[in-house]
Amino acid sequence: MNGSGEKKEQSERERPEYLASADHTLRAANAILAVNLTGVPATRVSQFAVGWLRAAFEQSRIIAMLTASGLGQAAAPNRRAFWELTIRMLWLRDMPSSDRAMATDTMLDLERMNETKTDKYLRENGLPSNIDVADMEAFILNVSEDKLINTGAQSLTGAVKSTGMNLWTVYHLWREDSTWTHATGFLAGRYAPINVEGTMGLGEPSHTDPNLEAHRYAAIVLAAAVSDILTDEGATSALAAAPLVAYFEAN
């Protein structure tokens, strides 16, 4: 091995793990977001799968950039969104393919009800509303009557409980990052701890995935879940697997 090669290898060994993981995560996210999925047959299910995939890896890019900048603690809202999207994708993949269309319609129906409530609240309080309730109500949805699907659609906890695979680790990460995402006492206490002298100190929240190990594993599982869903929705095997292939080729 020549001198320059030895120096490069030594430099890589001495580099902090979080920086190497951030670079890996950013390359993978950019590669997946660059995949052209316009040839995927358009169904409600494929729209959810592709849309959630892109949303998740947009969050992944932000997480990688903040981590590389030494601001991993500030990425809690982005990690929370990434964990939630991962759970949702695995929830959809785990159910029988024949139930997925009704599951997505059930989620849309819940969102429609929430939007209707928001519109009512705004109007009752003299605030402008751009929500077109009539247009939403005219949208035909095939809502599931299955209790398990309804429970999973209504809450993330329900989705975790109704999924056959073990999602509790990802759910724990989602709960942890939720603590640092909202205006809570925990958040105030970590950023502004009180010293023993009774004066204000300096601090920041910790997080459970500083080197992005869990994030990288979840990214692979998420991309694999999308591949399975798109295959069931009629995409060619090569197109369905393209995001997963892009992930591995990026690194």
pLDDT 10s digit of each residue in the chain, 251 long? 565 555 555 555 678 999 999 999 999 999 999 999 999 999 999 999 999 999 999 999 999 999 999 999 999 999 999 999 999 999 999 999 999 999 999 999 888 888 888 888 888 899 888 878 788 777 778 898 999 999 999 999 999 999 988 899 999 999 999 999 999 999 999 999 999 999 999 999 988 999 999 999 999 999 999 999 999 999 999 999 999 999 999 98
Structure tokens at 70: 């030494």
Model's pTM, two decimal places?
0.90
What's CA 195's distance to the chain center, in Å?
36
Rg of the chain over all Cα atoms, to the nearest angstrom: 21
Show the tokens assigned to 122.
Answer: 């705004």
pLDDT for the residue 73? 94
pLDDT of the residue at 13? 62
Task: Note the pLDDT of residue 123.
Answer: 86
pLDDT at 110: 87
Q: Kindly tell me the burial class for residue 148, based on how many C-beta atoms sit within 10 Å of its own C-beta (0-12, 13-18, 19 or more).
A: middle
Residue 69 φ then ψ, to 5°: -90, 5
CA dihedral 165, 80, 67, 20 (to 10 degrees): 10
Q: How far apart are CA 193 and CA 11, in angstroms?
A: 37
pLDDT at residue 12, as a whole number: 56
What DSSP line would sit under 60-105, residue for residue? Answer: HHHHHHHHHTT-GGGGHHHHHHHHHHHHHHHHHHHS-HHHHHHHHH
Coil, strand or helix: which one is 207?
A: coil
Q: Give me the pLDDT at residue 4, please.
A: 57
Tokens 């409980």 found at = 161
